Amino acid sequence: MKSKIRSSYAHTIYASYIGYIVQAIVNNLAPLLFLTFASEFSLSLDRITILTTLNFAVQLTVDLVSAKVIDRIGYRVSIMAAHVFAAAGLAGMALLPGILPDPYPGLLIAVVFYAIGGGIIEVLISPIVEACPTEKKEAAMSLLHSFYCWGQMGVVLLSTLFFRLAGISNWRILCCLWAIVPLFNIWYFSRVPIYPIIAEGTKRIPLSALLRRKMFWLLMVLMVCAGASELAMSQWASAFAESALHLSKTAGDLAGPCAFAVLMGTARAFYGKHSDTIPLKKMMFLCAVLCVASYLLASLSSNPYFGLIGCAVCGFSVGIFWPGTFSVAAWTLPGGGTAMYALMALAGDVGCSSGPTVVGMIANASGGNLKRGLFFAVFFPVLMAIGLLFVRDRKQSVQENASLPKEF
């Protein structure tokens, strides 16, 4: 069994699946406890908000630093360290508030630790899987990213079940239980094979040269649009369901973000199965058109149920954007290496921040009209569709890269 783990790239992919589940735990567990933190530690909502802001800021910083640091440290050490930070942050969230005189700094320290872990995971997992000697690269990438969706669903559903059975007062035990997942993956990643990110015989593109490539900047735009198209809808789906249909919080979460996550994961799993018959660029373009339609349905329909359908369908339409753009990068700029993936993750996180912000700002300026905010957010999938028109097909890109001079 040990020899199989050390020699089979299938185990590398399985460990990467768990890595994305860890990222889902990092990003989605604390928000389930925000109201508990507020009541138990007497925290105001603005101090609770800082926890989310800090998580996002640290992950952005990690994305930026990774472009220079990870190649020097090595991928195996880096991905194991990511899981150490994630486990420390999750366990710290349970333990530090009770150890320190003031519980709030304890929560902040825990957030910093697990955000570092989540940021490194986001940068490394995709290129680790892309480097595996699989025949169906796009399928592997799409299926990989679906595990974030399943992880998100698992965190919400299993944590809710735990609270129902053990009580919300035992939330510290839950944090420690979730920390077991990254602890296991530290061991797993210490044994699986990790392949060179830049294939043998492929010329590495220096960062300075990468920044001069038009295709790189097109990929950055696509990543911003991918993150913005996804988060602009998912972050407001619950509020939209409650305000449009007057559903309870639980029903709104199930009908909004939970349905969104299910369909997003379904889209990624679907393309993972059918990548042989559907070209990636075509799939992404059709999904961009579907995304435009879903935003328009959600924002313009007078029937609230059609609006809710628009929210859910949006989850399916954005599913392929993020992993698809990573796959496009792999065939258009095969020598981009760690710096390219790190900067693309940074661009995606910028989109994740800007999408919901645009919706919120426009809705606020319109007297709290979320429909108007979602209408203006259609700009992101429209720009995604336009950008894809300038992406060359895989076969053409491979031929062009083969004809490039050795020095860029």
Enumerate the domain spans of the chain.
2-189, 207-396
pLDDT value of position 380:
96
Cα distances from 304 to residues 92, 225, 299, 300, 334, in angstroms, run 42, 26, 10, 10, 46
- The answer to whether the beta carbons of residues 281 and 332 sit under 8 Å apart is no
The CATH fold assigned to 207-396 is: Growth Hormone; Chain: A; (1.20.1250)
The CATH fold assigned to 2-189 is: Growth Hormone; Chain: A; (1.20.1250)
pLDDT value of position 320:
94
pLDDT value of position 22:
96
- The answer to whether the beta carbons of residues 373 and 363 sit under 8 Å apart is yes
Mean pLDDT of residues grouped by 10 in the chain (408 residues)?
Answer: 74 95 90 84 81 83 84 90 97 95 94 94 90 83 90 87 90 96 96 82 81 93 94 78 64 71 91 88 95 93 82 92 91 85 89 84 81 91 95 63 45
Cα distances from 289 to residues 212, 267, 316, in angstroms, run 30, 15, 12
What type of residue is 362?
I
Record the tokens describing residue 14, joined without a space.
């399985």
